[in-house]
Amino acid sequence: MKRYLSCLIAACLLFSCERNDAGMALDLSGNVAITLFAVGGAAGVVDTVKGTVDVTLPFGTDFTKVAPAIAVAPGATVTPASGTVVNMKTAVRFRVINGNIYKDYTANAIEEKVIQSFVVKGVQAEIDNNARTIKAMLPSGTDLSALTPEINLATGATVTPPGGQLIDFTNPVIYKITKGQVSIDYTVTITSPVRVAFLSTATSASDLVNPDEKAAWAWLSGNNPEAQFLPFSSIRDHSVDVSAFSAIWWHEDNTQDLPGIAFDAGVLAALKTYYANGGSFLLSSYGARYVEALGIIPAGKTPNNSFGDAAGKQWMEPNWSWGISFKGHENHPVFAGLTLTADKPYATAYTLSNGTYRLNHTAQWFVPDWGGYGSIANWRVQTGGIDLGSTEWDGDHNTVVTMAEFPGTTAHGKAIVIGSGCYDWYSEPDPGNAASQPVNGYLPNIYKMTANALRYLSK
């Protein structure tokens, strides 16, 4: 029986080979090489072993509309075909087929390096040719108002303003790079870190529990190498000298009833002395309610409209984005560089996208009915504050004050308070589906406004 089966299998194999020989033989002799890959006058480097193509395109090329000329070995075809317009902002796969074999090539394009270097006070700036930005962070305390960058360009390129010219980098500066017939603007941002403390009831950053506070600290520590985590307990125990900080930020998002340690006699004495000696505060979310205890405003004038939902009670606003209106304060440094919405007749920056889940933690001043104000003019007189911002729907600030400044004097520092429910660092997950966590598209406005506020307070 076994002998019979062996013979049967051998016969089947022989029959199959004969069919292959008759009309199904594979052609494995084809050459699948790319012999030329060029875009205009730029020739690519082809590696037939690795299956890669690297090409450097001229300055100002539109990477989304590139039509490479491709030559392949005789008898071969390539897809996409030579001359086809492709988007080379990301890698593009080209497949060469010849007979019964094929080979894939991954093509990558970069732009020629026109800006060779941009150096300020010995610091090499980071050049992003995709975003057209140049960024550098200088040592703490650097005067940004008078800097002379050294700029090295490729042959044939020019820049305006030229390298070696004294420039004020207090705000971003536009540099125009020109080569041939192409001129492109680069936004140059030069910063220096400020010595900021992140005040917290947690004993260390690793002990932070509230996700909003964790997100705020992660951003600050990730963007300011001189930021320091400051536990209340360290102030109480006299283990830190708060006078070393140019500004102290308390973002309390956990509870409306501020924790007892914030009212410890030793803590308050140290922070009041800091303020009297010119120190400044940024108080946000429920931390806005600390202004009275610190003596920044008169007794009884703390934010009178405080509310918000508990953890796990988040809800979603499907239709409307929320933000801060700042009519009359468009030129305040805190609002510099924010992306404004076009759907309001007054200056407004959204900070919380519709479609995201939120807890709406708010500590604001409601002006018309509570607190004995009656009008925004009376609020200013009674609190000594400047109503920097209100809700996105209250352009004239007649109803609520969600953001306020208490200016510095010879007797004390200054303070900024942000008590808006849309100053939201953490997008809550869908309570019915934890895997769904819609992203707040306006977080960049929160980042920018906070960075502006801390720098402003540090001056």
Tell me the CATH number at 321: 3.40.50.880
**Predicted confidence band of residue 16 (pLDDT cuts 50, 70, 90):** very low
* Higher-scoring residue by pLDDT: 292, 171: 292
Residue 449 lies in a domain: yes
* Residue ending a domain, choose from 48, 83, 111: 111
Lowest-pLDDT range of 189-193, 357-361, 425-429 = 189-193
Tell me the CATH number at 44: 2.60.40.2340
Q: Quick one: which of 338, 308, 314 has its CA closest to 325? A: 338
Are 358 and 449 found together in one domain?
Answer: yes
Are 141 and 42 found together in one domain?
Answer: no
Are 356 and 375 found together in one domain?
Answer: yes
> Mean of the pLDDT values across residues 91-108?
96
Q: How far is CA 222 from the centre of its chain?
A: 11
Domain that holds residue 235: 196-458
Tens digit of pLDDT for each residue in 269-289? 999 999 999 999 999 999 999
Supply the pTM of this predicted model.
0.72
Residue 250 lies in a domain: yes
* Higher-scoring residue by pLDDT: 29, 406: 406
Please give the pLDDT value at position 24. Answer: 54
Are 393 and 284 found together in one domain?
Answer: yes
Please give the pLDDT value at position 12. Answer: 37
How many folded domains does the chain comprise?
3
